[in-house]
Amino acid sequence: AQSVAQPEDQVNVAEGNPLTVKCTYSVSGNPYLFWYVQYPNRGLQFLLKYITGDNLVKGSYGFEAEFNKSQTSFHLKKPSALVSDSALYFCAVRDDPGTASKLTFGTGTRLQVTL
C-alpha cells in the first residue's frame, strides 16, 4: 500500500526567508509525487509533480520540490516566502500516473508566513 507522511502540522516562516515543507512517501513501485495547495474555503490546486527526470522540479508560484529516492522524500521549497503563500499544503503519491490507480494524500501542513 502507498502512503505519505507530512511530519509537521504547521510551518512558520518570516516573509523573505526560505521555506521548506517536508514530505516522505512509501510505494511499492516507482513513485509519482505531487504537491497541492489549498487556500481557505477553496478546492486543492496543483503546484507541481515529479514523474521522472531531474530530481529538482519547478512548479507554480515560484515553488520547487526535490525528489530524493534514497531518503524517500519530496520536500517542497521556495527561496523567498510571501505572506500570500500562507495556505494548507498537501503532498500526494501514486505508483503510476496513467492508470486508475489512486492518489494518496498526506494529512497536510499549514504554512504561515508573517511579516
- Per CB under 8 A, the segment of 16-24, 61-69, 73-81, 106-114 that binds other proteins is 106-114
| Shortest distance (Å) from residue 88 CB to other proteins | 10
Task: List the x/- string, 76-105, binding to other proteins by CB under 8 A.
Answer: --------------x---x--xx-x-xx-x
User: What whole-number distance in Å separates Cα of residue 107 and Cα of residue 34?
Assistant: 14
Q: Is 32 in the site for other proteins (CB under 8 A)?
A: yes
22 near other proteins, rule: CB under 8 A:
no
Q: Is 31 in the site for other proteins (CB under 8 A)?
A: no
d(CA 20, CA 81): 10
The single residue among 15, 20, 22, 51 that binds other proteins, judged by CB under 8 A, is 51
Distance of CA 109 to the CA centre of its chain: 9
Alpha-carbon distance of 80 to 75, in angstroms, equals 15
Q: Which residues bind other proteins (CB under 8 A)?
A: 9, 32, 34, 36, 41-46, 49, 51, 90, 94, 97-98, 100, 102-103, 105-108
